[in-house]
């Protein structure tokens, strides 16, 4: 591949006519496939109570995928920290690090990963008014992972096991200026969900890069300079017409999500029949498209231009299509396009 690193965010999309179990098996297949193509990371998301997306427990999927791969970095995109205690997350990802040393990324998010009802059911304590303690949780998580509590703190006596050198690499995920500022303040690497919220992408990443403060408490994972990447949707096919056809499925998916419709991913034929009922597609907002759709050369050109404009060296690609073989093919074409650039 070129100097621009490419990684993968997988959400275990469930195609209509298939099952969530098959979607999870597809995720394992995809991880093996993109590892063979030279992608840098494979991250899995956390979503709840959705027919559309099957992965509710990325940590379980990462444990399985680690056994099915050998070198690609594995991570959460992300763990929704408000649902859990910092110690439990630290133990879970230290276990993954012990199984697959120096391959584990711990992407942390603040969003609920579902609707208000699911968020209420996942609350750690329903007997007190809900308080946003994310910053305290994040501080606690970092302290647990790196044994950095002050000696007088009661948690300094807790040994987080499995105890071994190194640890998971913590990333902050986000789609807002708040997450940008938080990542910069904590000295964490930052992944922006452009495919979800395209409007503030440049402002968020540039703000993070300008305000970044190194954090030596992160140990060997500490950055001396900012490291950001953006997650962008991609559909790549041999022809523009085929890429546009495949993209009908995700166009309908995005529309349904806005209407709180969580059905499985429609086929292009199903989408073509349903989309006209909702009128013309909403115009793209933001400087860069949420989904880059086209032939390998078109996709490569747009992704490279986006990365250059944002001054970042890595993009996380999210591809949702109905047919799993077409999804594998999209990643193959993308990798070949960037490999050709490197060879030239």
Q: What is the DSSP letter of 277?
A: G
| CB neighbourhood size of 159 (10 A) | 8
The most confident of the ranges 118-127, 221-230, 280-289 is: 221-230
Question: Tens digits of per-residue pLDDT, 49-69?
Answer: 999 999 999 999 999 999 999
Token duo for residue 259: 């209407």
- 273 contact partners, CB below 8 Å, separation of at least 6: none
At 128, the pLDDT band (50, 70, 90 cuts) reads: confident
- Within 8 A by CB and 6+ apart from 136, the residues are none
At residue 344, does pLDDT exceed 50?
Answer: no
Q: Is the pLDDT at 130 greater than 80, yes or no?
A: no
Residue 314 lies in domain: 5-340
Tell me the CATH number at 292: 3.20.20.30
CA 302 to chain CA centroid, Å, is 20
For the chain, how far is it from start to end, CA to CA, in angstroms? Answer: 11
Q: What is the CA radius of gyration of the chain?
A: 20
- The contacts of residue 91 (CB under 8 Å, 6+ apart) are 160, 161
CA separation, residue 314 to residues 7, 74, 164, 189 (Å):
7, 15, 29, 12
Average pLDDT of span 175-191: 97
At 108, which helix (H) or strand (E)?
strand 104-109
Could you give phi then psi for residue 50, rounded to 5 degrees? Answer: -130, 130
Number of domains the chain is built from? 1
- Determine which of 71-80, 122-131, 160-169, 319-328 has the lowest per-residue pLDDT on average: 122-131
Q: What's the pLDDT tens digit per position in 97-120?
A: 999 999 999 999 998 877 888 888
| Residues 104/96, Cβ–Cβ less than 8 Å | yes
Tracing tokens 């300079």 back to the chain, one arrives at: 225
Query: Can you give the three-state secondary structure of 25-51, one letter per residue?
Result: HHHHHHHHHHHHHCCCEEEECCCCCCC
């Amino acid at each position: 591949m070129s100097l621009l690193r490419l990684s993968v965010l997988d959400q275990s999309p469930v195609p209509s006519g298939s099952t969530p179990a098959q979607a999870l098996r597809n995720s394992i297949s995809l991880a093996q496939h993109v590892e063979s193509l030279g992608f840098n990371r494979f991250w899995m998301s956390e979503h709840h109570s959705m027919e559309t997306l099957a992965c509710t427990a990325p940590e379980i999927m990462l444990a399985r995928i680690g056994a099915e791969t050998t070198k690609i970095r594995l991570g959460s995109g992300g763990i929704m920290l408000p649902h859990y205690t910092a110690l439990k997350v630290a133990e879970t990802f230290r276990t993954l690090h012990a199984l697959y040393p120096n391959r584990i990324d711990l992407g942390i998010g603040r969003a609920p990963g579902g609707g208000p009802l699911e968020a209420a059911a996942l609350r750690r304590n329903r007997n007190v008014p809900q308080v946003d303690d994310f910053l305290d949780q994040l501080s606690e998580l970092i302290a647990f992972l790196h044994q950095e509590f002050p000696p007088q703190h009661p948690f300094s006596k807790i040994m987080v096991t499995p105890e071994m050198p190194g640890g998971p690499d913590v990333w902050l995920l986000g789609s807002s200026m708040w997450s940008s500022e938080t990542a910069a303040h904590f000295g964490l690497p930052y992944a922006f969900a452009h495919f979800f919220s395209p409007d503030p992408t440049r402002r968020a990443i540039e703000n993070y890069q300008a305000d970044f403060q190194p954090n030596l408490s992160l140990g060997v994972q500490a950055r001396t300079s900012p490291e950001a990447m953006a997650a962008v949707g991609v559909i790549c096919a041999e022809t523009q017409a085929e890429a546009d056809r495949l993209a009908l499925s995700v166009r309908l998916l995005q529309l349904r999500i806005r209407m709180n419709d969580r059905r499985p991913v429609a086929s292009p034929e199903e989408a073509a029949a349903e989309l006209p009922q909702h009128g013309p597609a909403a115009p793209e907002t933001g400087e860069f498209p949420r989904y880059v759709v086209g032939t390998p050369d078109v996709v490569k050109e747009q992704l490279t231009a986006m990365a250059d404009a944002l001054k970042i060296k890595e993009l996380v690609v999210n591809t949702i299509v109905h047919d799993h073989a077409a999804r594998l093919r999209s990643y193959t074409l993308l990798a070949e396009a960037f490999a050709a650039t490197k060879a030239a």
